[in-house]
């Protein structure tokens, strides 16, 4: 199979897998709203979820890894594009996949330990668990997974959009859509930056689900074009 065919397949599989995992987490774990609740409640819900929830988080983290080969294969599939644009786009996409994976992988490996430590813990131990959980949530979840993840995904989308416009084997309008969606994701990456660090930027919070739905539809559209 050609690079275009494989890239097209991954462009369709990635958003479908990502959104399926997100839907299942929302239904079984009330994610992401549960993150606004007390740590003990979050960890109690995690314990209740058992192995199925743990494996779901592991699968969700692995969906981010798909962006790594996807970025490289998309760059290889586009014809007539400036090489510098392709190299920078592929590198940015790889970084996006890596930081999103690092942000999510805490759930199947770190959080189970904290959930066990929180069960029947003394008040002092529970307070320590709360500090660790919230610290990793702010660092790996907000800073690495969300801020850098959205930032690099936005950069990859914009650069891929430029490449799609230049390419001779894809319609230019797909590139324009990619640039617009990338701009939305860039705004989403600023949700907890600067003055918004404590409460978050409400506009970015509202835009995030819209931007990711638009991003998912765009990926599928690009994938279909490459396969056809």
pLDDT of 76-95, one tens digit each? 999 999 999 999 999 999 99
Do 73 and 7 touch, CB atoms closer than 8 A?
yes
Task: Identify the pLDDT of residue 62.
Answer: 95
What pTM does this model have? 0.94
DSSP 126-156: HHHHHHHHHHHIIIIIIIIIIIIHHHHHHHH
Task: Identify the pLDDT of residue 199.
Answer: 87
Q: How many CB atoms lie within 10 A of CB 98?
A: 18
Q: Domain containing 104: what range?
A: 3-227
Task: Identify the pLDDT of residue 3.
Answer: 79
The answer to whether residue 1 scores a pLDDT higher than 80 is no
Helices 106-118, 39-65: crossing angle, 10 deg rounding = 160
Q: Is 126 exposed, middle or buried (0-12, 13-18, 19+ CB in 10 A)?
A: middle
Task: Identify the pLDDT of residue 192.
Answer: 93
Do 110 and 202 touch, CB atoms closer than 8 A?
no
Do 155 and 92 touch, CB atoms closer than 8 A?
yes
DSSP 83-129: HHHHHHHHHHHHHHHHHHHHHHTHHHHHHHHHHHHHTT--HHHHHHH
Task: Identify the pLDDT of residue 148.
Answer: 97
Please tell me which residue, 118 or 3, carries the higher pLDDT value: 118
Dihedral (CA of 204, 207, 209, 213) sign: negative
Q: Taking all residues of the chain, what is their mean pLDDT, rounded to a whole number?
A: 95
Q: Is 42 exposed, middle or buried (0-12, 13-18, 19+ CB in 10 A)?
A: buried
Do 59 and 66 touch, CB atoms closer than 8 A?
no
Task: Identify the pLDDT of residue 228.
Answer: 86
Q: How far apart are CA 41 and CA 221, in angstroms?
A: 40
pLDDT of 39-80, one tens digit each? 999 999 999 999 999 999 999 999 999 999 999 999 999 999
Q: How many residues does the chain have?
A: 228
pLDDT of 127-154, one tens digit each? 999 999 999 999 999 999 999 999 999 9
Domain count, the chain: 1
Task: Identify the pLDDT of residue 4.
Answer: 86
């Amino acid at each position: 199979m050609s690079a275009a065919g494989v890239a097209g397949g991954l462009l369709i599989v990635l958003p479908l897998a990502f959104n399926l995992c997100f839907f299942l987490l929302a239904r079984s774990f009330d994610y992401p709203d549960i993150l606004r609740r007390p740590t003990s409640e979050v960890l109690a819900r995690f314990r209740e979820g058992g192995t199925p929830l743990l494996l779901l988080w592991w699968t969700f983290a692995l969906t981010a890894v798909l962006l790594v080969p996807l970025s490289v294969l998309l760059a290889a599939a586009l014809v007539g594009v400036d090489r510098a644009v392709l190299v920078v786009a592929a590198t940015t996409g790889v970084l996006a996949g890596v930081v999103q994976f690092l942000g999510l992988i805490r759930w199947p490996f770190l959080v189970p330990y904290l959930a066990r430590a929180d069960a029947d813990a003394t008040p002092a131990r529970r307070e320590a668990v709360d500090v660790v959980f919230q610290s990793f949530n702010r660092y790996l979840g907000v800073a690495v997974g969300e801020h850098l993840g959205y930032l690099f995904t936005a950069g990859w989308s914009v650069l891929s959009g430029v490449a799609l416009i230049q390419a001779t084997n894809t319609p230019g309008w797909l590139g324009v859509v990619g640039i617009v969606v990338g701009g939305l994701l860039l705004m989403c990456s600023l949700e907890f930056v600067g003055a918004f660090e404590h409460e978050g930027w409400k506009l970015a919070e509202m835009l995030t689900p819209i931007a990711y739905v638009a991003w998912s539809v765009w990926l599928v559209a690009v994938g279909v074009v490459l396969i056809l």
